[in-house]
A and B are shown apart, each in its own frame.
Chain A
């Protein structure tokens, strides 16, 4: 597990990063916490002749919460998410999800930006961002642009981001109502066998809006609009939950791996979603 030789860069401003990306094209990659990228390089599954470290770029590590809007800099670590009291107040689902990612060592290094930009279907933040209807902020040679999390993922490791673009932040409106992030995994440090993010808003004793996204059950995260819709107007009773699960199962497409065969994963997906809904409803 020794990576191929690479050139290491540590630019101090974004212009420097973009210039390097333009110069080396496909041969260059930015590195945030390195906890997805470096293992891939060591396995020689990723060849990165030019590695651009983002650690010295200023302005990427802030959490800004104001006026019901939350912006998280790309370099904010999962550890910082867990320990931000403000974040816990404004969007408690962030902490609940982050605590289920990897282990403390990984979370000290792994960043929100790296997690959402990576494009690995096993990452937990992308589904969560889709649940929260987040926006991803990108900067590139042609300036800034914003992409909806729900439009960002194309296939495993394929996203809407261009090679010369850098993700600078994610933002979303502070969620309202009850929340839950439910994840089944084989052990600490494992990616999900199945995971579900749920936000449920209750008005007049009934669901008025619900958003549901699933992780590691397709080659991209799956925001299941129909699953959310199935809950609207209900009290998250058995029938409604069943309808939501059925709708979700139509949207996912798991494959067999060491975590189990497809039938098991579909069953587990239904179970974790049912539990996520129950918990979110109890908090709504």
Chain B
């Protein structure tokens, strides 16, 4: 048999790995045909809404629901008292702490859930919220973690024993009632010794401000308890639906097989939808109580004020080096403000996430990291906003320390990085704080980046600009922001990564249909990343069926295999690997079928794009379509019918994507307005599955980086009032504020990943934040700036210029 088309055409028809296949999701997303939680409407469905605390710290003396209950259309008003008999007035957090579902005697942050109103429609629920009378007694508010550790105001009375002693927390001993944990990595004494005896030492304190992932779709859920069958169905904005099912079962006592959790289309997560929120629990309880479905969807202000924030790290660093610039040691201490409850979403053994990747891309012989978690009267959270666990903080820290060290050494920061990179031949490289970096070629990427932007030319231009400024010829200064980042993603090996005891493997199940198309289901869930597009491409290449013939399904726990979900750029490193492995199982069986059909020995056929061919005689072949048909319709001795496979993949290691970014900025010192002239981003995410999707992820991640660096924050006043609770003040950039991004790449595959891919969704955010920030700081370096805190909004930039005497 002869083929009509060439091998190249067969490869192209597959739409497999490496091609910029258009996103299959976009047809529905761009036509308003997505199906989000708020689109779910069930017969008889009720609507829930929260009474929230106006105070950041207060005792709740009484709650009177009479007036609310009297409003026609109100079905129920739940308070902690109603949840207590079910033991659901508190719930466990992912970080081993617990959190009030509804205020149990006191409130600890502004916006905290106090009562849950259930009504016939959303409008009545909102009206009834106003009618619930809560009597508060205000308590002293603590919004500063350093003050919190000194204060005798006890925030969490449940965390102090009756005799006044302080019991251990989930992560060991606590030193103060408002202290959550101390977590350490590395060798403190050895590090101190090196730093104390070093030729050059730079120290710096920096505050990585509190911000919020702010996905376009806010959080919500619809719970439907079928009392006849005893089945609970829960639709919600869940980045980890299987974990939600397990937690819901443990909390409610409903057996896990009687719970179905569905994540429908999700409008962005960025870490905000990993945790479990009181609204989910309340919608479940309300459905159990009323026997009808109950929907809860928060509004924008509720999302910003009460669901998981990100960052809020006070970081203190010391870095030492030789006079020539070789780094000898790094010391980092973090005071981590976790708010009222420790609701971080980190693997259990990592209460500060992977902050211990803070040695960055550099070969640093000895290092120490200590993190103290602290309670304050702020919203709980501490999630990884478009980054792997706390990696944005870690990379910001080291990329600022490098800049400060460069100032101390009077050296060019690009050169300082080059001197200290982990070298290509050092991989796999074990860092001082324990991680084993899988692969990298940093110098090549760095040189490519610097060449692309004409770094030397930029520095010359900057020097001229400084002259011109001093001569009064311009009021604009120029900054060149650099960052070189290494991410640590793909959590992760079950031996050291679990969430609530559940190992962080992931899964893929493939079913090939007789006519040669397929459905594959995974334990992850896309929130806009385009899984239905890219996972089909991985499978197309692995099993030789066109990506167009492969449906990808995720998010329904009744059908998808168990997995830990999508966050921390883990989908491709873990579930993507599972897909490849499952695909290989399909291929192994297909090989036997092909050999049987071709009447040769198994070892005499080999895979070629979309078929098995007899070795040495390519005109003798069976396509995967032929094989699929035979698998179901032909009795093959020794083989079961059917063509299916499942793989649960426990990664042997994390993956370590990296990149080199450069930002060129002009800053008007009189208005504090920055203009981004150029942004160049080189990413190395290993094997590239879909270049177009990668580029989209990079544009998005950089834009969120721009937001955080230049203005986006959750700010509180001294009374614990949220000052940035709407999009008027919480900075969400529009197309207008976003510069043109130039993207570039190198490819250094992961040696341990089946297809060599590393994950890319979060890299641009991780590398972007320090790059934008460094650009601002670099602009003022010639005028004496060492470090200023983000966010670099207009007035803070102006303040920097003012402090440096540039308005005199």
A-side interface residues toward B, CB under 8 Å?
A: 1-2, 4-5, 44, 103, 184, 186-191, 193, 258-261, 263-264, 267-268, 271-272
Contact = CB atoms under 8 A, between A and B. Distances in A.
B713 to A, nearest CB: 9
A258 B715 contact: yes
Contact of B794 (A5, A186, A189, A191): A186
B126 interface: yes
B151 interface: no
A185 to B, nearest CB: 9
B127 interface: yes
Contacts of A261: 795
A5 B673 contact: no
Nearest to A271: B670
B736 A260 contact: no
Tell me which of B671, B728, B795 has the highest count of chain A C-beta atoms within 10 A of its own C-beta.
Answer: B795
Given A44-B130, A272-B671, 9 more contacts: A2-B122, A2-B126, A4-B130, A186-B794, A187-B737, A191-B728, A267-B670, A267-B798, A268-B670
A1 B795 contact: no
Interface string B724-759: 100011010110110000000000000000000000
B734 A188 contact: yes
A264 B669 CA distance: 12
Contacts of B807: 267
Contact of B734 (A4, A184, A189, A258): A189
Contact of B798 (A5, A191, A264): A264
Contacts of B130: 4, 44
A187 B728 CA distance: 9
Contact of A2 (B123, B711, B736, B802): B123
Contacts of B41: none
Given A2-B123, A5-B123, A184 B673 contact: yes
Contact of A186 (B123, B301, B711, B798): B711
Contacts of B734: 103, 187-189
B723 interface: yes
A186 B793 contact: yes
Given A2-B126, A103-B734, A268-B798, A184 B301 contact: no
Interface in B284-312: 299-301
B557 interface: no
B125 to A, nearest CB: 8
Interface in B760-808: 793-795, 798-799, 802, 807
Given A264-B798, A267-B670, A187 B733 contact: yes
Contacts of B737: 187-188
A190 B300 CA distance: 17
16 contacts: A103-B734, A186-B793, A188-B734, A189-B734, A190-B728, A193-B795, A258-B724, A258-B729, A260-B794, A261-B795, A264-B798, A267-B798, A267-B807, A268-B794, A268-B798, A271-B671
A258 B798 contact: no
A186 B731 contact: yes
B672 interface: yes
Nearest to B798: A264
Contacts, number: 64
B728 A1 contact: no
A64 B336 CA distance: 62
Nearest to B733: A187
Interface in B142-159: none
Contacts of B728: 189-191
B795 A259 contact: yes
A108 to B, nearest CB: 16
A1 B301 contact: yes
Contacts of A103: 734
Nearest to A189: B734
A1 B672 contact: no
A183 B670 CA distance: 14
- Top 8 closest A-B pairs, CB basis? A260-B795, A2-B126, A188-B736, A264-B795, A1-B299, A271-B670, A258-B729, A188-B734
A1 B673 CA distance: 32
A268 B671 contact: yes
B800 to A, nearest CB: 11
Contacts of A193: 794-795
A190 B727 CA distance: 10
A184 B733 CA distance: 16
Contacts of A272: 671
Contacts of B123: 2, 5
A264 B737 CA distance: 22
B120 to A, nearest CB: 14
Interface string B113-130: 000000000110011001
A1 B300 contact: yes
B299 A258 contact: no
B365 to A, nearest CB: 44
Contacts of B670: 267-268, 271
B671 A4 contact: no
A259 B715 CA distance: 12
B723 A184 contact: no
A184 B673 CA distance: 9
Nearest to B707: A187
A4 B731 contact: no
Contacts of B733: 187
Given A187-B733, A267-B807, A258 B723 contact: yes
A96 B798 CA distance: 26
B186 to A, nearest CB: 39
Kindly name the residue among B122, B301, B671, B733 whose own CB sees the greatest number of chain A CB atoms within 10 A.
Answer: B671
Interface in B12-30: none
B711 A264 contact: no
A96 B122 CA distance: 42
A112 to B, nearest CB: 22
A172 B728 CA distance: 32
Contacts of A2: 122-123, 126, 299
Given A186-B793, A187-B731, A264 B799 contact: yes
